[in-house]
Amino acid sequence: MEQKISKSSTRAKSKYNKKNYSRTPISFKHAEMEVLNNHCKKYGYSKNGFVVQAVKEKIQRETNKNFDELLKELQPAEENETAKSAEASETEKGEK
């Protein structure tokens, strides 16, 4: 019985992650990965958290905008796309 709970929990987490996150593979030379691993271990970072933070900081430096501001700029476009998708679904179903 416990195995079923574990499998359903895993499926739920996978479904949530697929809906809410994007993944991108990243490659490091072996020595670079060793430096990253050592740094993260020394300062208590997860590798994922460290890389995400580094990307955010780099984007902020290059755009001179706070990362959260950039996210807000995307919101209207995302909301507009969501509305268009919903409209298209209703049209396909003949509900309009």
Query: For residue range 35-50, what is the model confidence (pLDDT) as tens digits?
Result: 999 999 999 999 999 9
Cα separation of 15 and 19, whole Å?
Answer: 6
Residue 6: what pLDDT? Answer: 85
Label residues 18-44 b or e (16+ Cβ within 10 Å = b): eeeeeeeeeeeeeeeeeebeeebeeee
Of 19-33, 34-48, 81-95, minimum mean pLDDT range:
81-95
Longest CA pairwise span in the chain (Å): 59
Check residues 72 and 78 and name the one with the higher pLDDT.
72
What is the arithmetic mean of pLDDT over 7-33?
A: 94
| Average pLDDT over the chain, rounded to an integer | 86
User: What is the residue extent of each domain of the chain?
Assistant: 29-64, 65-96
- Are 68 and 59 in contact by the 8 Å Cβ rule? The answer is no
